[in-house]
């Protein structure tokens, strides 16, 4: 399964200026705000994660506050692990935000694992808004201790 996330492609300065002038002069403010809101709702944001390895497992941690743990989707397909969720937005009715910086909407992250793991033994836990995914390494790649015998 290929990485399903789209990458961010920056606009050229000319594209940004064209868009600014087109929207500023041709669309009424209400329609511009509605368009920007729809673009935000349709976006899939990159879920920030911490990933590390131990002798026994690959561990991935992701902060996804406000998400129901039952609505987090984790898939392992070959050597790619994907975490998807939707961070709910606060009801905006009657609110006039001066600042709105908390992330809401769809988040997703796909990572290529550089070591074989036992997908059937994977465990996920969720505590205080932090998802922790433990992916046990396959037995054949775990470090093995060899004892030296003297004669």
pLDDT, tens digit (0-9, with 9 covering 90-100), for 118-134: 999 999 999 999 999 99
Kindly write down the DSSP assignment for every residue of 50-95, as one continuous string: EEEE-SSEEEEEEE-TT--GGG-EEEEETTEEEEEEEEPPPP-TT-
145: three-class secondary structure by DSSP: coil
pTM for the full predicted model: 0.65
**Segment 66-120, tens digit of pLDDT:** 899 999 999 999 889 999 999 887 766 777 777 777 778 899 999 999 889 999 9
User: How far, in Å, are 49, 56, 66, 110, 118 from residue 126 at the CA level?
Assistant: 14, 20, 11, 19, 20
Could you please state the CATH topology (level 3) that the domain comprising 44-91+98-139 is classified under: Immunoglobulin-like (2.60.40)
């Amino acid at each position: 399964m290929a990485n399903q996330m789209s990458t961010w492609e920056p606009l050229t300065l000319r594209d940004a200026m064209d868009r600014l002038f087109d929207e500023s002069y041709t669309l009424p403010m209400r329609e511009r705000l509605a368009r920007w809101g729809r673009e935000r709702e349709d976006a899939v944001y990159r879920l920030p994660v911490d990933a590390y390895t131990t002798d026994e497992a690959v561990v991935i941690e992701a902060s996804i506050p406000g998400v129901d743990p039952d609505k987090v989707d984790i898939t392992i397909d070959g050597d790619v692990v994907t975490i998807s969720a939707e961070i709910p937005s606060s009801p905006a009715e009657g609110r006039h935000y001066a600042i709105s910086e908390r992330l809401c909407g769809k988040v997703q992250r796909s990572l290529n694992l550089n070591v074989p793991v036992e997908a059937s033994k994977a465990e996920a836990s969720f505590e205080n808004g932090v998802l922790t995914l433990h992916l046990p390494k396959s037995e054949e790649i775990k470090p093995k201790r060899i004892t030296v015998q003297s004669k």
